[in-house]
Structure 1
Amino acid sequence: MKCRDVKKELPTLIADGRQNSLPEPCAAHLQTCDSCRNEWKRLTGWGRMLASKEKWTPEEGFFERLVETGMREKRRAVLTESVAREMDAQPFNLLEFLRRPLHLPRMVPATLLITVFLIPIYFFISQQWNTIGNFDYAFGSVFAHSTSRMDADKGNAIVKGTGIQTAQGAESIVKLKGGTEILISSLSRIAIDDARTVHLEHGKAFFDVLKGQGQFKIHVPDGEILVLGTAFAVEVNPEGTIVTVTRGSVQISGANQSQKINGGYEGILRRNTPPVMREAQLLQQTHRWVGSLRNRRSEEELLKYYPSLAVKPTPVNR
């Protein structure tokens, strides 16, 4: 025998308790091979050390429990195999699945609890996603609507697709995300698609757009206005659209042509006519209107915290 075969067989002989009756080929090899003989001595030493000093006697009921456990595992294997065969033989039937009785007493409270928990989260996320700004000031009859009528009071949210209309003598200021401020004049109508896109349908509005927030686009009946960061007024009337730039520059487009308008100049847009630039004629008027509207907003804010300012002093007769 080879050493490899002998060393492989030695542990088996120890485990079977045959260390005193070695097979003849194995015993002959051990007499001639020092390495295998030393391995045999180590194994027999470990075997004597690990051998139990007392004879093992099973406790009462051991074999009965062993048989019961074996039968239980056998039944489980048979059941698993039969279920697998049944599932393979019968394809999934949706109608049969839907006919199965539901544990409604358990499901209803859990469903209600999940619904009550998720509904406020859904409305909060939806509102935050759709909110693009808020009303900062309103004077007179200012009407706002989106999917329904909205309140145009200061602080109320503006959502995507909001339309704002001012009556005779009414004015409003709105602030959009990104810092853009829009001052809306009397008898004007504006639609806010999102925080960077606006439609001025008629009337007058002043736009103060911060730099570094991306393009801001205004659609008018006669064309389009594109800005990156500037302040300007837009007036839409039956004769056309007048864009008065007070700071920075804008690009106006109409009739497939574009024109850049710098501060102190005006751009004229008319339907089916290329845009025209001229020296601003409404610049001072625009400054006065914007300053007056912002001053009224500041006065209203002061009166909220200092009501005594609203009391006019009584003249003293001397």
Structure 2
Amino acid sequence: MKSFADLFRSFRRRSRLWRCAGGFAAAALLGGCGTVELTGSTLHRIDKALESRKKPSLKAWEQDSDDRRLHLKLAELQTGLLLKWDAIKISSTQTKRDAVTWTVSMKGKQGSISSAVPLTRDGYFLTASHCVEKSPMTLVIATRDRKMTKKPVRVVWRGNPDQKGPDLALIHADLEPLLPFGAADVAGLAPGQEVAVTGWSGLSEGTPNGGTAAGSILSVSPLRHDPTGAAWRIVRHDVPLNSGDSGGPLFTPDGRCAGINARVVVGPAGLFGTKFGLAGKPDRPLAGYSGEAVAPDPEWLHGLIAADRAAHKGGR
């Protein structure tokens, strides 16, 4: 059986770069301060301030062990791209060094771009509830055959944040992802522990700082429940997130998923700082900022998947 390092090197020889050609919609990633929703120029300024902090945040991880650097890159390969677009095309270009560059392009009416986290070999994924639309959506991801594959998405379960439910959704696509994420022991996480995120925001053309960033845990909530039986925790962190990162993983240094990124909260200091050009240095966290990830209870989630497999006979 191949090690993580062997698997990564084998795939990267065939796919050195993922590019997402075309624009993206900001969806509802950036939340608000109190009841204030961030829109228009305010959202754009904060998005840029956070984007500029991504690359500097990775300095410690990239200077650490080979395993830690590997998990940063591997998470990018593992994470799926969730699209609502009229026309989606995957093309490849052979390079002189026997590598292939995969390009995902979108044409037609502008839609939305978000991320999804593979859980199982038989195509179950987690994403944020606000990333899931009623109209058909497409998942694009690296698969076990070392290709970029696109498949339609079926929504298995969707939380309702407006009814005090989690901003979380379970979806299914008929494919076998390259490598599903393992689950972290979220209840055992403590403030100050290091974590990282990745998503498809930084894999778009024109985003030189990338989609991966690092930081630390701020807090982990007690287990929450809603009337549907859903059970989850909220993991607050200071890792910079951008539009397009919703639905992507918050993960630990050993590459295990600690939650699904769903929301950004920015306090008054961050709001005024970005408005008047006082957002601070990119190597420091944005004042008053926190990201929120939803971590489903493993027992509840396993039950949800088992019930869907039984109903659709989709297990492999």
Identify which of structures 1 and 2 has the higher relative contact order when contacts are C-alpha pairs closer than 8 Å and 6+ apart. 2
The reply to whether TM is greater than 0.5 is: no
Q: In terms of Rg, which structure is larger?
A: 1
TM-score by length of 1: 0.23
More helix as a share of residues: 1
Structure 2 length-normalised TM: 0.23
